[in-house]
Structure 1
Amino acid sequence: MADPIKVLQLLGSAPVNTYTVFERDQVLTHSQLNELGLYLNQQERLTRTNLIGVGLVSGLNVVPDDSGISITPGLGVTTDGDLVVWPQAVRFTHSKPYDNKQPLYAPFYPDGKTLIKLLELTDDQDPLGTALPTPANAQDWAVILLAETTEVDPDLCIGDNCDNLGRRATAKLRVLLAQPEDAKALRDTFKPVSERARALPDLLATRPKLSASMVNTALFMASYRDACTEVLNSLNDALKQFGTDFAPELQTLFGLNPVDAWQLRLKDIHGQIRIGNAQLTYGFFKDMVDTWNAMVDALLDTTAILLPGASAFPKHLLLGRVRDPADLRTAFFPSVADTGAREAAARAGFLVRKLQAQMDHFIVPDDSTVRVTPSMGEEVALEERAIPWYYKPDISTQWNFRLSQRQQADANLGYRATDYGGTARARNPLGSSIAGYEMFRVEGHLGREVGQVREELKTLVADNNLPFKVHAVLAHNLRKFIRIRPQIRYTDLHRFHYLLRQDVAVRLDESKTFTARFSDNVQEAVQKKTIPDQVSELSSVTQAVETVRSDIGSLTARALPALNQTRYTGYQQETQTSAWNENLGSKLQTLGDVRSKLGEVARNDIVSPIDSLIQTTHPLWLNWLDDLIAARDEREDDKLLLSRFVSDHPALDHLGGTWRGGTLVLLYDDAGTVVGDFALPYPYEEVDEPEPEEPPLRRPPLLRPPIADIRPIGIVRPIKLDLDTMVTAQIGSQFAITSKALSDRIEASTKQFDEKIQAVNVDVDNRLKLQSSSVEGLVKGAFSTKEATAAGVVGSGKLIATGDTLLDQLAQDVDYKRQRVQGLIDLASRTDISTEERSKAQSMLSKAQGELGTAVGDAAEHVVLSKTNTASGAGAGVAAILAQSTMLVSDAAASRTLTTKLGSLQTSAGDTSQKVLIGTLQNLGSLRG
């Protein structure tokens, strides 16, 4: 049986390295001529494949229609060096079988024995052809162009008689249809660099999980360590695949396959993670991911083939699928002599070497010089950014491909530019224009005291006009460890505090002046017998008044140095020293008792300074404002804790610096040591301004004359003395009456007048007590619950009955909810409970405050609708509960709801006590903030 005709592959045979050099009159043999012809043929083909490229150069597109398939003009080069030229479009409407009777082409026999299923496209003139199905793409096929070259021996030999006509070589182009899976197998026998790169993974740098539960440095480090672990695992998997698929290239670059050593080095770097270097180690792993992805991208661009194997697609070119002509097409692979291809290959090799350079040059730095280096964000390639400080200086030559190609590695910006002999700009990057940089690396600060770092950075920002802010937060959940906070957070609360201080100072000063004059007036009245020195409740009027004068003078002398301070901190320091407000309530109560006992001999024409001082709650307001200011400072301090800061600023990220126009956030531990940093894309900074000194306020006379020029309290001669005088005069005029009758009459008259005087005094006393109880009940009910509690109104578990059962029930409900809120406040502020318990308590507190606000609003509404008098009695106790409860509604949503409710009640309030109650509750709500 004759051997089958084979498709010739000229580059697949042994290369011809010798040929005969002809001499004159030499007799030539066929072997000499064939040897020379083969040599020249191989050289021509090698020139195409190695200096031009292989694959589809252009055209040769598959265009299906309703009943046929067209192949557009084009050209290509097979790996055997065949130049395939298809000069014009050809449409095929029929096909015929392509079987093993055709010349043998080894790639069509994947197992060496069985031909894959093939059809050959033809036209309607071919007697063996059958029409293609309609439409032509109804059946999915792949189109193959076969450059078939065969040799046929035309000699007819009979016995020993053979004509030496020689063999004839024939080249023919066939268009074949194959199953897509068979075409894919033909394509996958050849995998250049770009094809293998498609299988490499695109790595992602896992972001650390930042949350409100990050309450200490151990949790902070664990978050970054876990992220590094995930990146390390994905890098190891990718490197393992890289070492297998690109073993020849790695052998060429390094003389061996370095992947195992790379994985050991990455494991060693991961094992060095500590609190102080967790972020920069994470930065290194992010750099590795960036370089890996850039390397894969460069490998995908590396389509050039160095010495393409002749067996890849020696005689065929895949033109695409009929249903999807863009699929299953042989790409064009340029020669390494192509300029673009050469650069792509060089860049890919550079990035492979950079992977190793990053691992070799990584260090945990111990530098203590803070430096700011202009850089770019992560949207640009790693090589276009400044070199981080955790690399040794020598990495500069392997950092940027473009600069390394130009021998300009010293132009790289970086923390260690001086060490690697950087250019003038690299050594002083802030000395020239920085407008082209959108972020700034900040390095050299880890492990240092946060206060020093913050001041150095602020100096750098100010001296170099840098466009970012500097802030500091504590990696802890306890305020006591906060190192960086403003000296004072001065607000309108401080200004209002100053206004009240001036008000109390004026009241004290006027009270001092008034009591001095009043004492003189009383002494003069006693001397002139206008009033007695002894009344029913005082053994000595003059001594009592002098005591008041002395007490007011002593209180004024102690209080004014603090109250007249124009700075809040000065007031606090002076108050701690003098303790002028210590037991102030009991002192004013004593003054009030003396003042009420002087009622027999003193009459109020207008409210006197001492009465105003006794009745005012402004000293209490000062304490309340101190509490509000302290509470606000605590809330602001909470914003300096990492757990709260993460919740308030979800854009927080670690960049090794910060954005233009953003904020560098320094993170420090409870010892004040910087352990990390974050970036915000917007400016944020607590301004630490010096405490302002408030201007002095003008005192009366402004709207009224000085207190020394008016007489708020007048001296009143007792009625009994007038009666005695009148009786005596009457007795003298009736001299004719006998002594016994006169005595009886005088006694009867005296008794009668005594009874009248007693009745008048009782009536006056009752009225004074009623007025005092009304004022005192309203004040205590509106502003303080301390006195109400002492009186048994609140806190005892039951209320004085108001006579209104529904109001009693509403008040009890408010008091119950108030106690529940107070209990949750105490629980949430405890430090001996877990974070989860504290968080749950905070959630319960917000809900409880909402319920309390609703209860206060319902009770206040009932007071207004029922027109309950809250100025005295049990109604004052209800007012006290509502006032104390209102101060505890600090949740923003609950406060807004209550404020809206009180606003609607203000317009419908009836008598004065209701208006005062609603207005007071509104003021307490606004003071609470």
Structure 2
Amino acid sequence: MEAYNTSVYPVFEADQVLSQKELNLIVSHLEEQDRLIRKNLTGIGIVCGSELSFPSPNSVKISCGTAVTSLGFQINWKEDTFSHYHDFEISDQFLKPDYTKESYLDKFFKYTDDYTAIKNCVELLPAGSNAEDKKPIPANFFNNKVVILLLEVTLIDQKNCVTTNCDDKGKRMEFNVRPLLIPINASKELLKEYDISKTYSKIAFPRYNVPFQNAVVTGSQVLDGFRKAYSDTLVSGISNAVKELYQDHKKNLSGTDLSVLESVKSRIDETVNTYKSGVNIQYIWDWIYDITEAYNEIIDFKEMYPSVCCVDENWFPFHVVLGGNSVYGNSFRTPFIKTSDFSKKEKKKSEKLALLFRKLAHLISSFEVVKVNDIKVTPSQHGNYPLSKKSIPYYYKSVLELNKKWNPDLTAKNQNDSVLSYYSDLAGYTNKLSVQKPLLFDFEPYNFFRVEGHIGLNYKTAIQKLNLIRDSHNLSFKVTAVNAVDFLNKEVDITKFEGRWDDLETDYDLARKRVYNITEFAINWMDQHKATLSSQGLIGVGSIDNFKNILIQLKNLLTNDLKEFLPNYKSFYEIFKQLNYVFLFHRWCIQLNKQTLSVLAEDLIDRLDDINELFLDDPFTVIYEEANLRWQKVYKDLFFSTFIKKHPGLEHKAGVTKGGTFVLVYVDSSIFKASAPPKQYTALLTAITAYKNNFAIEDSVKQDLIKSVKLTDYKSQLITKPDLTAIDKCKAETDNIKNSLIEVAKFNLNAYYPVEMSGFILGNLIDVLQFEPSVKPQDNSFQQTVIADFFLPYSCCGDGNTLEVKIEINEPLSISLDKLKFCQTDTNEQQIVIKGKSGGKFSGTAKDAIVQKSDKYYLQPNHASIKTPKIYTLQYELEGEFSNTIELEIVAPQGLKWEVARDKNDVNTFHFSNPVQDDQHEYEIDFNDGTKITTKEKLVSHKFDFDDLNKQFEVNIVQLGETCPNQQKLTVKLIGDFNVSDFKSKDFFTEQ
């Protein structure tokens, strides 16, 4: 700001005669310096106070305060309340003063003419005013009006007239502060609309499955839990909040296209429709959470205040606006505008704010889940930290651009290459090894580990890779995994247990060895006396051979490993029982119609009794019962529905805190025990049953012999399945109890609670009392695949059973495709690679697009059933076993936006331009005249050789590097060249 009179001001000497000009110059200089200091070194506007309040509809209270006009005049106000008014006319001595002799006053009086628009106005008066024309303020008096404080500066002549002589006594300046009430539409020059300092509410994000209402059991239910993140209510709230925030700051964010911030809901809905049927639904949850965090970070950003370096004196030279009785009226309130160094600080804050908005726009428009096979653990922050302080997730595209916006503070210091990310090792991201491989360096500043890249992987592979990363980098968290399948009324195959039961193993080995010894002795004895036994009619040679073979097979069924024996115990027990009956029948036949027995017959009976007593001891049932009791305590911990109840505090944040437990959730129904026994058990049981039935014994005798053996006495502890036939009876009785409870609850609630509260409580009570005992259909989607992750903020699930149980040895049935992203116009069939047998069937949303040729299967990307661009699923089933679920994406071709313009100086030269500034794609341009180029340039020029045969060319532009061959055709045409010397009649071809 240039000073008015600093170039010249008087310097007085002794005995100097002072003129009025010299005195006025020094006064003007000092007064002007005061104003310059205020407005150029501090600021202008309402500094503090001067707040309006309305004690009643007929009065207004103005609190004490201080303000500085744009000319630098200071207005000090003492609190007062105004209940009256009078019509007021601003003096011409202020509006049009005569300062011809005081030309230096033109520096500020030249601005008074703007106040002519409100010359006739209303002045507010306190109740104790002595004004004769004061009137009480009526109702609605303040509507559509604003209160201003006018600093009325008047230049008054001082006259001393006596009779006919008036000596000029000079002039004086008077300053009066007047509270005026003027209409909002009175003057656009005096009433400028400013941004109101708004208070924005943060967006609160829901927690997973809280409040806990329904048990989360199957994989589909786990994924359903993430769908609350894109409920219409939440998404609409986010969209409206972001739009309002953007519109309030839009004028300060010029230079960047942020229009996506005005249509957040449509972008979220579009993305959700693409991914909602796939396994990556948890990343939609994370993405929407990021959007809310980016929004909240803008709200938390320190409030912006306007600032300037050079003050425009014409803004509010003699007044400040205090506001009105409405939000709109308050938008005219004069803010405090800082000057000097504040402008630089505010510029930096403005740049940071712009980056935060650009980051929010980038997050909304760049969500993409890329299929990866690498699991990465990235240090990050968890808790009360802004999004900028956390690492960049992996589900965004254009990460190199996002990196420049992610942390505005680091970007301002040119240190954005230190932001950690899943893509930190991407070419061009950073040269810092501590960012590329952060786990090799000190990560004490971080309290959280982002874990990414495991969703959609085979769970065994994911567990092995994650454990390898954790152990090789000595990371402080534990890993466990749980199965999201329904285990109600199902038996989990005990062979999946990888732990040890040493005491049971010993008991089993002893019982098995005893069976070996006794049966071996009996078999050898019968084999040695085969001829004699046959000749005496005690047992035939064929029967001895059959009996011998049965006992040998029985020994083979007693496997070395208890874990392999237990799942087939029931089948073995049936064989055991049938053999016992066979021995009883043999014993009865030997004694039939014989008063005395030979020594050999008694020895044979002794051998049969030895075996029979062995069966009656039934050691294997005792071992089986104890193993099952222990197994019951262990196997339920394998399932997500049990785990989530047993371990409180389960959260999803796409990672795990230091010292916490990372929980992988997968789906694998192959762990359940097969309903049919193995073929060798079935064959042996059939053979023994047939052998038993061939005995020529009356049925009544057989039944008496069978009843004489109380084998069931040894099975008292065996766990049986519940009787599902009782469900209907139970449901009917429960409904009666439920209705009675609801009636009692309704009576008591209405007596003690308001209607709204009692209705809410009663609704929750009805939900709790719903009786749904039916078994849920088994969910076979995403078999043996990681579908979600959670974490516990503490260490749990010790090194015992949980994780070990779920690691299987056998290679599972699986399917794969060489690529998982196709264009909807792609006509090339893609073979599906199956690990396992062919002859099964496909399921999933892409099943109709599969064709079989011989023993191979192919995907048709252009099939009508998968024409809509989105994520589709595919799964393979064979003999009750389900493969992994793969996700494939169908995308649609995108139109290009290239433009063409003819050169102004050469009609045969054309300029092809790509208006999309942030487009990094490479393009192939075929000019169709024998020239073809590949380029990344945004502007390409080409000269065409037009002639009588080639009057136009079809230029074909193809975008490279995308799934679909996005292309565009542009036509260039000849214009007649009759302005040149070789003019011919045929040159009048003038098509554009």
CA distance, structure 2, for counterparts of residue 560 and residue 320 of structure 1: 99
Q: 1:568 matched to which residue of 2? A: 563
* C-alpha displacement of 1:52: 1.5
| 3-state SS, counterpart of residue 173 of structure 2 | strand
Q: 2:68 matched to which residue of 1? A: 77
* C-alpha displacement of 1:47: 5.3
Structure 1: which amino acid aligns with 2:74? L
Q: 2:619 matched to which residue of 1? A: 618
Q: 1:690 matched to which residue of 2? A: none
Q: 1:382 matched to which residue of 2? A: 387
Q: 1:368 matched to which residue of 2? A: 373
Larger Rg: 1
CA contact (8 A) 1:55 1:78 kept: yes
* C-alpha displacement of 1:120: 7.3
CA distance, structure 2, for counterparts of residue 411 and residue 482 of structure 1: 52
Deviations 1:64-112 (A, max 9, x none): xxxxxx99998653555333568xxx999x9996644596899999998
Greater displacement, 381-390 / 261-270 = 261-270
CA distance, structure 2, for counterparts of residue 109 and residue 556 of structure 1: 121
Q: 2:652 matched to which residue of 1? A: 654
Q: 1:400 matched to which residue of 2? A: 407
Residue 171, structure 1, aligned to residue 104, structure 2? no
* C-alpha displacement of 1:386: 0.7
CA contact (8 A) 1:412 1:422 kept: no
The 1:160/1:474 distance shift into structure 2, 3 A limit, reads: farther
Q: 1:760 matched to which residue of 2? A: none
CA contact (8 A) 1:109 1:116 kept: no
CA distance, structure 2, for counterparts of residue 816 and residue 568 of structure 1: 22
| 3-state SS, counterpart of residue 584 of structure 1 | helix
Residue 783, structure 1, aligned to residue 715, structure 2? yes
* C-alpha displacement of 1:152: 4.9
Deviations 1:691-736 (A, max 9, x none): xxxxxxxxxxxxxxxxxxxxxxxxxxxxxxxxxxxxxxxxxxxxxx
* C-alpha displacement of 1:466: 1.8
CA distance, structure 1, for counterparts of residue 258 and residue 727 of structure 2: 72
* C-alpha displacement of 1:559: 3.9
CA distance, structure 2, for counterparts of residue 620 and residue 596 of structure 1: 31
CA distance, structure 1, for counterparts of residue 491 and residue 282 of structure 2: 22
Deviations 1:858-883 (A, max 9, x none): xxxxxxxxxxxxxxxxxxxxxxxxxx
Residue 431, structure 1, aligned to residue 476, structure 2? no
CA distance, structure 2, for counterparts of residue 775 and residue 631 of structure 1: 33
* C-alpha displacement of 1:376: 0.7
CA distance, structure 2, for counterparts of residue 310 and residue 33 of structure 1: 28
CA distance, structure 1, for counterparts of residue 173 and residue 438 of structure 2: 71
CA distance, structure 2, for counterparts of residue 305 and residue 508 of structure 1: 100
CA contact (8 A) 1:299 1:345 kept: no
CA distance, structure 2, for counterparts of residue 376 and residue 171 of structure 1: 59
CA contact (8 A) 2:87 2:120 kept: no
User: Equivalences for 1:458-537 in 2 at 5 Å?
Assistant: 458-473=467-482, 487-490=496-499, 495-496=503-504, 499-500=507-508, 502-503=510-511, 505-506=513-514, 509-510=517-518, 513=521
Residue 586, structure 1, aligned to residue 589, structure 2? no
| Aligned residues between the structures | 641
The 1:161/1:457 distance shift into structure 2, 3 A limit, reads: farther
* C-alpha displacement of 1:464: 0.8
CA distance, structure 1, for counterparts of residue 287 and residue 559 of structure 2: 59
CA contact (8 A) 1:266 1:359 kept: yes
What RMSD over aligned residues (CA atoms) do the two structures have, in Å? 6.9
* C-alpha displacement of 1:427: 0.6
Greater displacement, 549-558 / 661-670 = 549-558
CA contact (8 A) 2:48 2:67 kept: yes
Q: 1:725 matched to which residue of 2? A: none
CA distance, structure 2, for counterparts of residue 486 and residue 160 of structure 1: 129
The structure where helix makes up a greater share of residues is 1
Residue 441, structure 1, aligned to residue 373, structure 2? no
Structure 1: which amino acid aligns with 2:202? D
The 1:504/1:447 distance shift into structure 2, 3 A limit, reads: closer
* C-alpha displacement of 1:219: 8.1
Within the candidate set 400, 418, 425, 1:418 is matched to 425
Residue 48, structure 1, aligned to residue 38, structure 2? yes
* C-alpha displacement of 1:402: 1.8
The 1:496/1:346 distance shift into structure 2, 3 A limit, reads: same
Deviations 1:151-200 (A, max 9, x none): 152456999987655542223568x899xx99xxxxx978755x4442x4
CA distance, structure 1, for counterparts of residue 63 and residue 770 of structure 2: 75
CA distance, structure 2, for counterparts of residue 357 and residue 173 of structure 1: 51
The 1:483/1:372 distance shift into structure 2, 3 A limit, reads: farther
Greater displacement, 279-288 / 415-424 = 279-288
The 1:95/1:267 distance shift into structure 2, 3 A limit, reads: closer
| 3-state SS, counterpart of residue 661 of structure 1 | coil
The 1:342/1:508 distance shift into structure 2, 3 A limit, reads: same
Deviations 1:100-157 (A, max 9, x none): 45968999999986637542789xxx999x9xxxxxxxxxxxxx99674431524569
Residue 300, structure 1, aligned to residue 303, structure 2? yes
| 3-state SS, counterpart of residue 774 of structure 2 | helix
| 3-state SS, counterpart of residue 652 of structure 2 | coil
Structure 2: which amino acid aligns with 1:432? F
Deviations 1:547-603 (A, max 9, x none): 999998766544445547254226779999999647334234335646987996679
Q: 1:840 matched to which residue of 2? A: 773
The 1:250/1:594 distance shift into structure 2, 3 A limit, reads: same
* C-alpha displacement of 1:506: 2.2
CA contact (8 A) 2:378 2:421 kept: yes
| 3-state SS, counterpart of residue 403 of structure 2 | helix
The 1:576/1:97 distance shift into structure 2, 3 A limit, reads: closer
CA contact (8 A) 1:563 1:571 kept: no
Structure 2: which amino acid aligns with 1:249? N
Q: 2:354 matched to which residue of 1? A: 349
Q: 1:286 matched to which residue of 2? A: 289
CA distance, structure 2, for counterparts of residue 34 and residue 60 of structure 1: 33
* C-alpha displacement of 1:501: 5.6
Structure 2: which amino acid aligns with 1:296? I
* C-alpha displacement of 1:381: 0.7
* C-alpha displacement of 1:335: 3.5
CA distance, structure 1, for counterparts of residue 25 and residue 484 of structure 2: 82
Q: 1:324 matched to which residue of 2? A: none
The 1:515/1:304 distance shift into structure 2, 3 A limit, reads: same
Q: 1:456 matched to which residue of 2? A: 465
| 3-state SS, counterpart of residue 372 of structure 1 | strand
The 1:177/1:593 distance shift into structure 2, 3 A limit, reads: farther
CA contact (8 A) 2:489 2:721 kept: no
Structure 1: which amino acid aligns with 2:408? F
* C-alpha displacement of 1:620: 4.5
CA distance, structure 1, for counterparts of residue 727 and residue 88 of structure 2: 99
Q: TM-score, normalised by structure 1?
A: 0.52
CA distance, structure 1, for counterparts of residue 37 and residue 90 of structure 2: 27
User: Equivalences for 1:677-716 in 2 at 5 Å?
Assistant: none
Q: 1:273 matched to which residue of 2? A: 275
What runs of 5+ residues in structure 1 fail to find an aligned partner? 1-14, 63-69, 131-143, 183-187, 322-327, 527-532, 534-538, 673-685, 687-768, 787-814, 826-835, 844-929
CA distance, structure 2, for counterparts of residue 480 and residue 550 of structure 1: 42
Structure 2: which amino acid aligns with 1:227? Y
Deviations 1:344-364 (A, max 9, x none): 444323322332343465443
The 1:381/1:311 distance shift into structure 2, 3 A limit, reads: same
* C-alpha displacement of 1:385: 0.6
